[in-house]
Structure 1
Amino acid sequence: MAEPTLHIGRKISKVRELKGMKQETLASELGISQQAVSKIEQSADVDGEALEKIAKILGLSSEAIKNFSEEAVFNIIGNTYHDNSASLNYQCSFNPIDKIVDLYNEKVALLERLLQAEKEKNELIKSK
């Protein structure tokens, strides 16, 4: 049995999922059924020509798929996003309560304008 790190079908599946592509879409691009794509993704080894076609559709080289590793993806993500914007210690540059009050005041002003427009409309209807 092949090691999971060498399982080309699983790598194709992971890359496809990371690209946000469904099996049905890949199948359509390849001109095969979704079941055939599922079978490919369950295969430890994939024919070179098929791998080339799949790689092209996924926007990669077949070598990129062969060398794909989830660990590398996580390392890239970890090394790319250091701005701490997702940190739990994130400080707002505004007071959220003030924003809520502002939105409430805008809503009240809008409702007052709508009410005034309705009153004017009713007056026009009555005057006819």
Structure 2
Amino acid sequence: METAARRRPIHLGDHVRRMRTALGVKQSALASELGTTQQNISRIEQEEEVDEVTLERIGKALGVSAEAIKNFDEEAAFNIVSNTFTSQDSSTINAINIQPTFNPVDKVVELYERLLQVEREKVELLERMLKEQK
């Protein structure tokens, strides 16, 4: 007997939560990156619909595209992990066991701070050049 595969509506808040947890980012870290509260992130993750602007901002903070969040597929993720663990190649298994020692959001903040410093230096240089011209 054949059963028709029922397609559930996309629950974008759930996709946000699963993507965030897959990347190892806590709600509080994501909230900090977005300039909001942990409670607001929790609320977003409970909503079925998430507006495009919010989804883009969350994706940017997590280092993924909004499309990646929209198309998050647990079955595909399970198949990738399942196929990887059935591999007999020990290097693949060892690579999986490596735990990152950094938080992706912290890396984004670090890069942003470096960018700000470069911009400040550029402004100082331009100001000096203007003073020398006068």
Range class of TM-score, shorter chain = 0.5 to 0.7
2:25 counterpart (21, 24, 28): 21
Give the corresponding residue for 1:7. Answer: 11
Give the corresponding residue for 1:44. Answer: 48
| Mapped contact 1:52–1:61 kept (Cα < 8 A) | yes
- Aligned-pair distance for 1:56? 1.0
Q: The residue matched to 2:30 in structure 1 has which SS?
A: helix
1:49-68 to 2 correspondence within 5 Å?
49-68=53-72
How many residue pairs match? The answer is 83
The AA in structure 2 aligned to 1:33 is T
| Mapped contact 1:5–1:69 kept (Cα < 8 A) | no
1:89-128 to 2 correspondence within 5 Å?
none
Q: The residue matched to 1:6 in structure 2 has which SS?
A: coil
Provide the aligned C-alpha RMSD in A.
Answer: 1.7
Greater Rg over alpha carbons, structure: 1
- Aligned-pair distance for 1:79? 2.3
Q: The residue matched to 2:49 in structure 1 has which SS?
A: coil
- Aligned-pair distance for 1:60? 1.0
Runs of 4+ in 1 over 6 A off after TM superposition: none
Give the corresponding residue for 1:83. Answer: 88
**How many Å separate the matches in 2 of 1:43 and 1:63?**
17
The AA in structure 1 aligned to 2:88 is D
Worse-matched range after superposition: 63-72 or 76-85: 76-85
1:81-102 C-alpha deviation (Å, 9 max, x unpaired): 31275xxxxxxxxxxxxxxxxx
More contact order relative to length (CA 8 Å, sep ≥ 6)? 2
1:63-82 C-alpha deviation (Å, 9 max, x unpaired): 11101011111111122331
* 5+ residue gaps, structure 1: 86-128
Give the corresponding residue for 2:130. Answer: none
Please report the TM-score for the alignment, with normalisation by the length of structure 1: 0.60
**How many Å separate the matches in 1 of 2:45 and 2:14?**
5
The AA in structure 1 aligned to 2:68 is A
| Mapped contact 1:9–1:44 kept (Cα < 8 A) | yes
* 5+ residue gaps, structure 2: 1-6, 91-134
